[in-house]
């Protein structure tokens, strides 16, 4: 037996002894475990599941998976369980893998379930640590529920999902899901502890003692909460299927899901919680050590650039963040011993206005195709404010008889949507409405050749969604990435933008909208757009071909000019020192055809930006 393995085994036994010795201190009691310390799977605790699901009328295991499960793909050695996926043909399957469960050997109602694992990567890999009902008291899947403690799909090897399934039989089944993304690296780099705590009305998910999701009975209402019966544990590594997609030429075989241990406790364990991704210079952010007494002493260590507002020495810490994040640590002493809890915090970069998709004081490449309701463009701003002080906006009265009311604009306005899907850039819109707070604003980017009503979602490259937070006043709303209904559409082929206001309702509220813009990190100069650039300078002709005339209409000298592409790249930069009321010509030769942003910088440092159309000669 290798020395390293002996040391590891000794540490595991010590841990189990400490758990036992601390029972009088109300520490969680270890009620079931497998440390995988033998040379074969312990069949007093686990059952093998064999085949492709066809023998139980569930070919492809209900997900069009491609693997055939067999015993020889489950290995135990040196304290590690390995479930191995291989590219080999058995029966009608081109791949093999392993699947085990504790059914009738480890069945539980409530508790803490955790496993320390290192996960596979690459397209088509689908490891899972999950639970199914033992008795199916409420009926066949998903009526009796499913609890997914950890699922990962190989193409997103840095993201773990926690999900509950419930509701009526398929296809009317329901689910509620959350996910956790590593800020650096992937789950194949090292082992991580995935845990779930299940109580009568609440289920919580953790990764490395960080609480990232909670679901309660209200999340499944009005459906039944089926999580009040016995469940058993499953471990498997699927290959292909509806969700991860099938392996491709980049997928490496064999691959393994490695499990150091699986443990079940009868109580809760301390954890750290709080926002992991925060805004630039976010203030009053609270972090908590949970499942400890309020008087527990906690020593917090915060990264440089963050400042403690209150709570040092207690389980509840309030921080102000600066322009960068880092490792937040909490050293905690409890009756169960001392432990350091850690979470890496990411501070978002300072995003500035990069380009305008649609506003009504400047020309736009987007042209109206269709509107279900009453749209009036270039409408006088009904209530100028610090949020929106422009003269013109759009007024829209939603068609109350339409469930999915749309405003459709055509034009190639964004060269590559993928940077927004990756959250490297963001969309914002100004909104003023008499609709209730919480009204949905949905932005879709489409390919017009494929975005037909009868083949949805084909052609919908990506969707961005927000909700209103106020009523009858202007607000600036970020539209975060929602999903990608049709990944086969290239992000560079988008020529249609669709806005849906309060979709899936029959409402007829009035909406004013303006300044549908793209924002990028580090763009500060373009962020300083003046509300009325026409009072500062004039461009003509616009559209222009090779030569453009700039007239200084303001009182300050124009020190320099810059021309940007709409994705923020500087295409031209020129010093001018153009006095007030004078003109200068700008050579546009070599600049790309399409919508550009023309920026002037005044001698007092202020800037103004206007869109420019460059045409072909």
Mind giving me the DSSP string for 324-389?
--EEEEEEEEETTEEEEEEEEEEEPP-EEEEEEEE-SSS--S-EEEEESSEEEEEEEPSS--SS--
Residue with more model confidence, 594 or 308: 308
Quote the strand ranges of 157-201, DSSP E: 159-167, 173-181, 192-198
How many percent of the chain have pLDDT more than 70? 91
146 a catalytic residue: yes
> What is the Cα–Cα distance from 213 to 197, expressed in whole angstroms?
11
User: What would the pLDDT profile of 196-210 be if each residue is shown by its tens digit?
Assistant: 999 999 999 999 999
19 DSSP 8-state letter = H
Domains located in the chain, CATH noted: 28-265 (2.60.120.200), 271-347 (2.60.40.10), 352-521 (2.60.120.260), 528-614 (2.60.40.3080)
- Under a CB-based contact definition with an 8 Å cutoff, are residues 375 and 306 in contact? no
> What is the model's pLDDT at position 585?
92
Mean of per-residue pLDDT scores for the chain = 89
Helix (H, G, I), strand (E, B) or coil at 125: strand
> 37: closest CA among 96, 77, 91?
77
A 10 A CB-CB count for 505 gives: 17
72: confidence class by pLDDT, cuts 50, 70, 90: very high
Ordered DSSP codes for 517-535 = EEEEET--TGGG--S-GGG
> What is the model's pLDDT at position 535?
76
51 DSSP 8-state letter = B
Q: Which residues contact 573 (CB under 8 A, 6 or more apart)?
A: 560, 561, 562, 563
> What is the model's pLDDT at position 609?
75
> What is the model's pLDDT at position 79?
97
Residue 351 C-alpha from the chain's centroid: 18
> What is the model's pLDDT at position 43?
97
Instruction: Report the run of H or E that residue 491 belongs to, with start and end.
Output: none
Q: Which residues contact 97 (CB under 8 A, 6 or more apart)?
A: 67, 68, 69, 70, 73, 83, 84, 85, 86, 236, 237, 238, 239
508: confidence class by pLDDT, cuts 50, 70, 90: very high
| Average confidence (pLDDT) over 452-467 | 72
A 10 A CB-CB count for 64 gives: 12
> What is the Cα–Cα distance from 263 to 111, expressed in whole angstroms?
10
Look at residue 458 and tell me whether its pLDDT is greater than 70.
no
221: confidence class by pLDDT, cuts 50, 70, 90: very high
Q: Which of 67, 75, 114, 146 is catalytic?
A: 146
> What is the model's pLDDT at position 176?
92
The alpha-carbon radius of gyration of the chain (Å, integer) is 29
| Average confidence (pLDDT) over 440-467 | 78
Residues in the chain: 617
- Sign of the Cα torsion 377, 405, 413, 423 reads positive
For the entire predicted model, the pTM comes to 0.67
| Average confidence (pLDDT) over 143-161 | 96
446 a catalytic residue: no
> What is the Cα–Cα distance from 97 to 255, expressed in whole angstroms?
9
Look at residue 174 and tell me whether its pLDDT is greater than 90.
yes
Strands 374-380 and 392-397 turn out to be: antiparallel
Block residue for tokens 């489409």: 446
Write down the H helix ranges in 51-200.
none
Look at residue 479 and tell me whether its pLDDT is greater than 90.
yes
> What is the model's pLDDT at position 449?
81
> What is the model's pLDDT at position 568?
54
User: What would the pLDDT profile of 323-369 be if each residue is shown by its tens digit?
Assistant: 889 999 999 998 888 999 999 999 887 778 888 899 998 888 899 99
Look at residue 265 and tell me whether its pLDDT is greater than 90.
yes
The answer for 138, left when phi > 0, alpha when psi is -120 to 50, beta otherwise, is: alpha
> What is the model's pLDDT at position 606?
73
Strands 125-133 and 460-467 turn out to be: unpaired
> 126: closest CA among 106, 147, 99, 146?
99
Residue with more model confidence, 246 or 16: 246
47 HSE (CA, 13 A, CB side) = 12
Backbone angles phi, psi at 128, to 5 degrees: -150, 145
User: What would the pLDDT profile of 28-69 be if each residue is shown by its tens digit?
Assistant: 999 999 999 999 999 999 999 999 999 999 999 999 999 999
| Average confidence (pLDDT) over 123-149 | 97
User: What would the pLDDT profile of 581-608 be if each residue is shown by its tens digit?
Assistant: 999 999 988 888 777 778 888 887 677 7
- Under a CB-based contact definition with an 8 Å cutoff, are residues 193 and 184 in contact? no
Strand order in the sheet with 537-540: 537-540, 547-552, 583-587
> What is the model's pLDDT at position 454?
46
Helix (H, G, I), strand (E, B) or coil at 84: strand
Helix (H, G, I), strand (E, B) or coil at 414: coil
Look at residue 572 and tell me whether its pLDDT is greater than 80.
yes
Helix (H, G, I), strand (E, B) or coil at 566: coil
User: What would the pLDDT profile of 232-247 be if each residue is shown by its tens digit?
Assistant: 999 999 999 999 999 9
617: confidence class by pLDDT, cuts 50, 70, 90: low
313 DSSP 8-state letter = B
> What is the Cα–Cα distance from 395 to 382, expressed in whole angstroms?
9
A 10 A CB-CB count for 399 gives: 17
> What is the model's pLDDT at position 531?
40
> What is the model's pLDDT at position 451?
57
Q: What six digits make up the tokens of 170?
A: 């398929």
Q: Which of 35, 75, 151, 446 is catalytic?
A: 151
> What is the model's pLDDT at position 528?
38
């Amino acid at each position: 037996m290798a020395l390293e393995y002996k040391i590891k085994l000794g540490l595991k036994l010590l841990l189990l002894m400490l758990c036992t010795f601390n029972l009088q201190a109300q520490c969680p009691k270890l009620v079931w475990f497998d440390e995988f310390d033998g040379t074969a799977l312990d069949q007093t605790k686990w059952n093998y599941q064999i085949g492709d699901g066809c023998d139980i009328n569930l070919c492809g295991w209900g997900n069009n998976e491609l693997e055939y499960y067999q015993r020889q793909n489950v290995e135990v050695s040196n304290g590690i369980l390995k479930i191995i996926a291989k590219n080999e043909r058995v029966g009608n399957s081109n791949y093999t893998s392993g699947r085990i469960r504790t059914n009738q050997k480890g069945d539980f109602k409530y508790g803490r379930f955790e496993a320390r694992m290192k996960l596979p990567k690459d397209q088509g890999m689908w490891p899972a640590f999950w639970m199914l009902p033992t008795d199916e008291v409420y009926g066949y899947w998903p009526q009796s529920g499913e609890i997914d403690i950890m699922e990962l799909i190989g193409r997103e090897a840095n993201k773990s999902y926690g999900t509950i399934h419930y509701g009526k039989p398929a296809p009317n089944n329901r689910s509620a899901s959350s996910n956790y993304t590593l800020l650096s690296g992937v789950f194949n780099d090292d082992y991580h502890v995935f845990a779930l705590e299940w109580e009568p009305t609440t289920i919580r998910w953790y990764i490395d003692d960080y609480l990232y999701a909670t679901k309660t009975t209200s999340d499944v209402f009005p459906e039944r909460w089926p999580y009040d019966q016995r469940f058993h544990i499953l471990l498997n590594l699927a290959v292909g299927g509806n969700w991860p997609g099938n392996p491709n030429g980049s997928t490496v075989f064999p691959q393994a899901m490695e499990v150091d241990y699986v443990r079940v406790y009868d109580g809760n364990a301390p954890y750290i919680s709080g926002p992991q991704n925060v805004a630039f210079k976010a203030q009053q952010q609270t972090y908590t050590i949970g499942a400890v007494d309020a008087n527990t002493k906690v020593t917090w260590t915060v990264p440089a650039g963050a400042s403690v507002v209150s709570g040092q020495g207690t389980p509840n810490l309030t921080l102000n963040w600066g322009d960068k994040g880092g490792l937040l640590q909490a050293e905690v002493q409890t009756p169960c011993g001392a432990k350091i809890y850690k979470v890496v915090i990411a501070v978002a970069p300072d995003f500035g206005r990069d380009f305008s998709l649609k506003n009504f004081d400047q020309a736009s490449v987007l042209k109206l195709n269709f509107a279900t309701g009453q749209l009036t463009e270039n409408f006088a701003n009904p209530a100028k404010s610090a949020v929106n002080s422009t003269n013109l906006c759009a007024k829209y009265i939603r068609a109350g008889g339409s469930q999915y009311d749309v405003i459709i604009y055509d034009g190639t306005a964004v060269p590559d949507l993928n940077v927004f899907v990756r959250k490297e850039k963001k969309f914002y819109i100004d909104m003023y409405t008499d609709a209730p707070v919480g009204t949905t604003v949905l932005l879709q980017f489409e390919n017009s050749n494929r975005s037909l009503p009868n083949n949805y979602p084909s052609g919908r490259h990506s969707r961005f969604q927000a909700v209103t937070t106020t009523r009858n006043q202007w607000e600036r709303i970020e539209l975060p990435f929602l999903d990608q209904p049709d990944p086969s559409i290239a992000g560079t082929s988008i020529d249609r933008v669709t806005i849906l206001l309060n979709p899936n309702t029959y409402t007829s509220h009035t909406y004013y909208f303006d300044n549908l813009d793209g924002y990028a990190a580090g763009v500060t100069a373009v962020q300083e757009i003046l509300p009325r650039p026409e009072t500062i300078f004039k461009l003509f002709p616009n559209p222009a071909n090779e030569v453009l005339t700039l007239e200084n209409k303001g009182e300050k000298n124009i020190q320099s000019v810059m021309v940007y592409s709409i994705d923020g790249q500087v295409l031209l930069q020129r010093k001018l020192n153009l006095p007030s009321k004078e003109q200068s010509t700008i050579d546009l030769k070599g600049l790309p055809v399409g919508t550009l942003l023309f920026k002037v910088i005044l001698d007092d440092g202020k800037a103004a930006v206007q869109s420019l159309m460059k045409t072909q000669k």
